[in-house]
Amino acid sequence: TARHGTARHGEMVPELQKSTVRIQQPERVMGVIRAIKEQGCSKLQVISDFDMTLSRFGCNGRRCPTSHNILDNSHVISEDGKKKLKDLLHHYYPIEIDPNRTLEEKRPLMVEWWTRAHELLSQQKIQKGDIAQIVRESDVMLRDGFNELFDQLHKYSVPMFIFSAGVGDVLEEIIRQANVFYPNVNVVSNYMDFDDSGVLKCFKSPLIHTYNKNNSVLQGTAYFQQLSTRTSIILLGDSMGDLTMADGVPSVENILKIGFLNDKVEEQRGRYLDAYDIVLESDETLDVVNGILRYIL
């Protein structure tokens, strides 16, 4: 019975009884978690999105910034630049999360958004040396429990691959300032290209947006080939676009997909439950991820 099932998860991972947790197939999920534990930490890797997955979506009813928003809102952007970046956000973000549009419809529009935003940012004479202060002055917050997550993975030498459509220079600075940028953490993201005097001139290619987080941008990186023995995967994301992040891993034996459902919860619930093994609704913490890792490691 359902009650029986829940009680058994509770014994293994008490955090799965939090009211924010939704699971469509509890038996399957427990089977995958058990299999990952049996394989051991030498077979495990974590693949995670950054914005709104490792960082918080909101705090006290206010939205927290993405790595792009941190730049958009910073003192180095002119008032005119800020307005244009905000207009782009208000136009394209609803498209990004619209459940009634297909990925094929969304893809060219996301390329348009990222391209326009990167062009605007590149006109602002942002200096490489300003990034640390911009991050320090921002409202960005990592989810509660980030310390335990990064510390545990470091302690057990589990590789953590952060695959982000955000801004790599900014997100690296966030985890550096949080003192968790350990050697087992690897990042693929959009990186800034500075001229000889350290002023932003453009963004490096390939452009990573919400809906091309797959092999098409990982082809050049040897990362997954090195990790071909890491056949157990825990994938963390908040968007339907994050589901393909592990596609480049050559031989996946066990994969557990955990999805943070942050926005438009009612409208998106059905699709998230079909796609993610575990859905965390309006949960600003990493409690469930940490609980699963505590059981596995």
Tell me whether residue 164 or residue 232 sits nearer to Mg ion (CB atom).
164
Q: How many CB atoms are closer than 10 A to CB 216? A: 12
State in angstroms the smallest separation of the CB of 108 from ligand C5P. 15
Between the CA of residue 21 and those of 17, 90, 258, 279, what are the distances in Å?
Answer: 7, 30, 10, 6
State in angstroms the smallest separation of the CB of 35 from ligand C5P. 28
Burial of residue 226 (number of CB atoms within 10 Å: 0-12, 13-18, 19+): exposed
- Listed in order, strand segments (DSSP E) in 82-240 are 160-167, 185-190, 192-194, 200-203, 232-237
* 254 contact choice in ligand C5P, Mg ion, none (CB below 5 to 8 Å, kind-dependent): none
Binding part of the chain for ligand C5P, among 112-120, 122-130, 215-223, 269-277 by CB under 6 A, reads: 112-120
State in angstroms the smallest separation of the CB of 69 from ligand C5P. 5
* Angle between helix 103-122 and 79-96 (nearest 10): 170
Report the residue from 40, 59, 87, 93 that binds ligand C5P according to the rule CB under 6 A. 93
51 an active-site residue?
Answer: yes
Tell me which H or E stretch contains 44: strand 44-48
Report the residue from 138, 210, 212, 290 that binds ligand C5P according to the rule CB under 6 A. 210
Report the residue from 9, 47, 57, 66 that binds ligand C5P according to the rule CB under 6 A. 66
Q: Is residue 262 classed as helix, strand or coil in its secondary structure?
A: coil
Tell me whether residue 52 or residue 121 sits nearer to Mg ion (CB atom).
52
Tell me whether residue 164 or residue 254 sits nearer to ligand C5P (CB atom).
164
Binding part of the chain for ligand C5P, among 1-9, 13-21, 147-155, 164-172 by CB under 6 A, reads: 164-172
196 an active-site residue?
Answer: no
Is residue 164 within 8 Å of residue 235, measured between CB atoms? no
Contact status: 52 vs ligand C5P (CB under 6 A)? yes
Tell me whether residue 45 or residue 53 sits nearer to Mg ion (CB atom).
53
The structure tokens listed for 121 are 């940012």
- Pairing relation of β-strands 278-281 and 21-22? antiparallel
* 84 contact choice in ligand C5P, Mg ion, none (CB below 5 to 8 Å, kind-dependent): none
Report the residue from 21, 23, 36, 49 that binds ligand C5P according to the rule CB under 6 A. 49
Of how many residues is the chain composed? 297
Is residue 208 within 8 Å of residue 191, measured between CB atoms? no
Sites of contact with Mg ion (CB under 5 A): 49, 51-53, 238
Report the residue from 9, 56, 68, 230 that binds ligand C5P according to the rule CB under 6 A. 68
Half-sphere exposure of 177 (CA within 13 A, CB side): 17
Tell me whether residue 231 or residue 244 sits nearer to ligand C5P (CB atom).
244
The structure tokens listed for 95 are 């498209």
> How far apart, in whole angstroms, are the C-alpha atoms of residue 131 and residue 124?
13
Q: Tell me which residues touch ligand C5P (CB under 6 A).
A: 49-52, 66, 68-69, 89, 93, 96, 113-114, 117, 164-166, 210, 239
User: Active-site residues: which are they?
Assistant: 49, 51
